[in-house]
Amino acid sequence: MAVRLSAMSLMLGTLLLALASISTTSLAARVIVGDSAHWTFGYNYTEWANKSSPFYQNDTLVFMYDPPNSTTFPHSVYLMKNLRSFIACDLRKAKLVANVLQGGGDGFEFVLKKRKPHYFACGERNGIHCSVGLMKFAVLPLRRCHG
Ligand SMILES: [Cu+2]
């Protein structure tokens, strides 16, 4: 009897462990910003964010852009301070999160750790990439629910 019980609790424990690892690893998404367009001038990232929504807490955004060279514009990634500066592409209070070199190779990864609005923008050319180049989007990560 005792043996059967412990075998059952062992099975239950294994099952719980399996469930826990599913919820912590495979549910967090890794999303390439802009999909195959990557992080580039002139792609509509507001549209992309709308069709890629919703995003969840602990999802990873991947920004891919080449380091400065003779054929591509340099790009970067900033977090804008608030909705107002995001709309205006005003970089004065923005926080640099990835410089012009950090988008190379496998790209720059940003984990959405907090459930608050994130206002992303390219900071190059004093906001021109953000305004004219459409290189901006907002994300509000949601709590991931189970069932
Ligand atoms: Cu740019």
User: pLDDT tens across 21-40, in order?
Assistant: 445 455 799 999 999 999 99
| pTM listed for this prediction | 0.81
CA–centroid distance, residue 82 to ligand 1 (Å)? 19
Which value, in Å, is the radius of gyration of the alpha carbons in the chain? 20
CA–centroid distance, residue 54 to ligand 1 (Å)? 24
Q: 98-118: per-residue pLDDT in tens?
A: 999 999 999 999 999 999 999
The CATH superfamily assigned to 29-139 is Cupredoxins -  blue copper proteins (2.60.40.420)
User: What is the rounded CA–CA span in Å between residue 113 and residue 16?
Assistant: 25
Q: Give 2's pLDDT tier (boundaries 50, 70, 90).
A: low
Q: Give the sign of the dihedral formed by CA 83, CA 88, CA 93, CA 98.
A: positive
Nearest CA among 120, 117, 109, 111 for reference residue 141:
117
CA–centroid distance, residue 58 to ligand 1 (Å)? 25
In the predicted structure, residue 79 carries a pLDDT above the cut 80: yes
Partner residues linked to 136 by β-bridges: 121
User: What is the rounded CA–CA span in Å between residue 85 and residue 117?
Assistant: 13
- pLDDT at residue number 113: 97
- pLDDT at residue number 9: 59
User: What is the rounded CA–CA span in Å between residue 50 and residue 141?
Assistant: 13
In the predicted structure, residue 74 carries a pLDDT above the cut 90: yes
Q: Give 3's pLDDT tier (boundaries 50, 70, 90).
A: low
CA–centroid distance, residue 67 to ligand 1 (Å)? 11
> Mean pLDDT across the stretch 132-144?
97
> Mean pLDDT across the stretch 83-105?
98
CA–centroid distance, residue 130 to ligand 1 (Å)? 7
How many Cα atoms sit within 13 Å of 50 on the Cβ side?
4
